[in-house]
Amino acid sequence: MTTGGSARRASAVGASARHALSAVAPIALVLAAWEAATRSGAIRTQVLPAFSSVCAAIVDLVASGELSRHLGVSLGRAFGGLALSIVLGVLLGFGMAANRHVRNFFDPLLSLVYPLPKTALVPLTMVWFGLTHQAAILVIFLACLLPMVINTYHGVRGVDRMLLWSARSLGTSERRLFTRVVVPAAMPSIVNGVRIALPIAFIVVISVELVASRAGVGNLINGYGSMGVYDYMFATILVFVAMAFIADRCLVRLGRALLRWHETQ
Amino acid sequence: MIRKIAAASYSIVLVAIVWELVARAGVVPFFFLPPLSVIARTFVAQVADGVLVSEAWLTLFRAMTGFAIAIVVGVTLGMGMSRFRVVHWFFDPIVAVALSVPTLTLVPAFVLWFGIGHESKILLVALSCVWSMAVSTYNGARNVDTRLIWSARAMGTPESKLLWKIVVPAAMPFIWNGMQVALPISLIVAFVFEMVAGGGGLGFQEIMAARFFKSPDLFAALFAILLVGFALDRLLRTLRARLVIE
């Protein structure tokens, strides 16, 4: 029994390793093609530096601490704005779901700003706060707020009435009803909102830093681009792209761990 | 009816009145928040003399051309992924990475590769939108009821027609979902690219106004951008309701 189980587990590990390998292979192929095209001279290195020299630039940027400084600024802004939007968005979403007056007040305002591409607010916060962290965090917060509010609101409104009725009939107090039934039932939708908001935070932080900033990854990319130091520019791009991807994966994992009890998982 | 409209919009009116009063009272400096009436006058004047209209067309041209390229390439890619295992094997991880990555980081690279004219903007819009089109098309094609395909085959539909007659129409709702996701992305990329690299357009108009502290111009451009976003969103919804039977 145990040997059969461990053998099955071993083969499952083998299968998932093979699966991971088959998923990494195409990306490795693209990178190899990049290296080959630049080495053979098919693409001039002034236009696209070789992958190997970009890797060397990454090592140098990491060693000098330049990258971690700017990455720290960007991630701090992105997660700062995101965290603010989660707190206020969830509060507002609960408020709108619970109270008709709150809903009637905010619903028209939210549908008014809904179709605005939120990066259009970058010049406005630049005028208000200059090239500062506050300006960046404010735009990121505003851009991420909407998905958080909408997802929380729909999560709360979508709570199964049967759950509420049965909890009430079992004598649950209104306060416990909220913390024990409403919040957990709305959780999948809220986590989903965070997953929508995270890439928005990354898009907006890059936009702010390309347009109006003295620090951060976007600023670094822009600086290297205008100085013509393209291997360092692509190195920075590659690192940020990898960070965004890893952040998304971590969030998916976290969501799964948080919602382990939920039936859709 | 009137009560309903009043209830649905009183907060907007309230915010507008507070904005006007606060700005007029001089509580905040003019260049932080000009009165709404001044912004409205600027907006009307700039629409009348054609500045905002021509800049809006410029941005729309870039965003919509890139969007159209993304639809064609993305639908083809999604269909290919659903049909051929090797295409799926190759593109599945690439799409997974590309979807969660902010393509705007590539603005300086695209300036290097394609200059600061239309091409670089259109191509980055296309690159940013293509992945969600591919994923939604793939999901749609995978979701086609196999019984539809079986019965079409049984009735003698050739394989070449199967795609256009069965798979594409059946995947259509998914493809529209992809378009609704990609449309705001196309606008975001176009506006930001114009802010960074210039070359006219509403994004450029707005950032120049900000650099010279011409706040009424800034807000006028912001409202124009809001209007463009609103109009395109509505247009896509209307088209979808007209064209797709769901």
Is the model's pLDDT at A264 over the cut of 60? Answer: no
Any A CB within 8 A of B184 CB: yes
Which residue of B lies nearest to A107 if distances are taken between CA atoms?
Answer: B8
* Burial of residue A214 (number of CB atoms within 10 Å: 0-12, 13-18, 19+): exposed
Burial letters B60-95, b for 16+ CB under 10 A, else e: bebbbbbbebbbebbbebbbbbbeeeebeebbbbbb
Distance between CA atoms of residues B14 and A215, nearest Å: 38
Q: How far is CA B207 from CA B210, B229, B238, in A?
A: 5, 18, 32
Beta carbons of B105 and A105 less than 8 Å apart: no
Q: Closest CB to A234: pick one of B101, B109, B187.
A: B109
CB pairs under 8 A between A and B: 145
Any A CB within 8 A of B149 CB: no
Who's near A258: CB < 8 A, 6+ residues apart? A187, A191
Any A CB within 8 A of B218 CB: yes
Q: Closest CB to A22: pick one of B9, B89, B230.
A: B89
Mean pLDDT value of segment A68-97: 93
Q: Which of B236, B106, B127 is nearest to B183 (CA)?
A: B236
Q: Which residues of A touch B107 (CB under 8 A)?
A: 210
Here the ipTM equals: 0.85
Cβ–Cβ < 8 Å for A192, A256: no
Q: Closest CB to A108: pick one of B11, B101, B233.
A: B11
* Residue A176 C-alpha, separation from nearest chain B C-alpha, in angstroms: 33
Q: How far is CA B81 from CA A23, A208, B86, B141, B234, in A?
A: 14, 35, 8, 9, 31
Q: Please name the residue ranges forming H helices in chain A.
A: 2-39, 51-64, 66-98, 100-113, 122-129, 133-157, 161-169, 174-176, 183-211, 217-227, 230-258
Mean pLDDT value of segment A132-139: 89
Beta carbons of B187 and A118 less than 8 Å apart: no
Which residue of A lies nearest to B219 if distances are taken between CA atoms?
Answer: A124
Which residue of A lies nearest to B93 if distances are taken between CA atoms?
Answer: A23
Q: Which of B229, B246, B244, B223 is nearest to B47 (CA)?
A: B223
Any A CB within 8 A of B23 CB: no
Q: How far is CA B149 from CA A134, A137, B79, B86, B166, in A?
A: 56, 51, 15, 22, 7
Distance between CA atoms of residues A223 and A205, nearest Å: 16
Q: Which residues of B touch A114 (CB under 8 A)?
A: 233
Cβ–Cβ < 8 Å for B67, B228: no
Distance between CA atoms of residues B177 and A169, nearest Å: 41
Is the model's pLDDT at A57 over the cut of 70? Answer: yes
Cβ–Cβ < 8 Å for A245, B101: yes
Distance between CA atoms of residues B184 and A51, nearest Å: 32
* Residue B149 C-alpha, separation from nearest chain A C-alpha, in angstroms: 29
Which residue of B lies nearest to A104 if distances are taken between CA atoms?
Answer: B8
Q: Closest CB to B112: pick one of A108, A128, A230.
A: A230
Cβ–Cβ < 8 Å for A210, A221: yes
Mean pLDDT value of segment B137-150: 86
Q: Closest CB to B15: pick one of A109, A126, A206.
A: A109
Distance between CA atoms of residues A67 and A216, nearest Å: 9
Q: Where do we find the tokens 């970009």?
A: A54
∠ CA B232-B238-B243 to the nearest 5 degrees? 125
Q: Read off the pLDDT band of A265 (50, 70, 90).
A: very low
Q: Which one-letter amino acid corresponds to residue B14?
A: L
* Residue A147 C-alpha, separation from nearest chain B C-alpha, in angstroms: 13
Distance between CA atoms of residues A140 and B90, nearest Å: 34
Tens digits of residue pLDDT in B109-138: 898 888 888 989 999 999 999 999 999 999
Q: What is the reported pTM?
A: 0.87
Q: Read off the pLDDT band of A12 (50, 70, 90).
A: low
Beta carbons of B184 and A117 less than 8 Å apart: yes
Which B-chain residues 66-125 have CB contacts (< 8 A) with chain A?
A: 89-94, 96-97, 100-102, 104-109, 111-113
Distance between CA atoms of residues B108 and B90, nearest Å: 27
Beta carbons of A240 and B105 less than 8 Å apart: yes
Three-class SS of A113-128: HCCCCHHHHHHHHHHH
DSSP state of B33: S
Q: Which residues of B touch A248 (CB under 8 A)?
A: 100
Beta carbons of A116 and B229 less than 8 Å apart: yes
Q: Read off the pLDDT band of A6 (50, 70, 90).
A: low
**What is the reported pLDDT for A99?**
85
Q: Read off the pLDDT band of B171 (50, 70, 90).
A: confident
Tens digits of residue pLDDT in B212-230: 888 899 999 999 999 999 9
Percent of chain B with pLDDT over 70: 98
Tens digits of residue pLDDT in B56-113: 999 999 999 999 999 999 999 999 998 888 999 999 989 988 888 889 999 988 988 8
**What is the reported pLDDT for A260?**
74
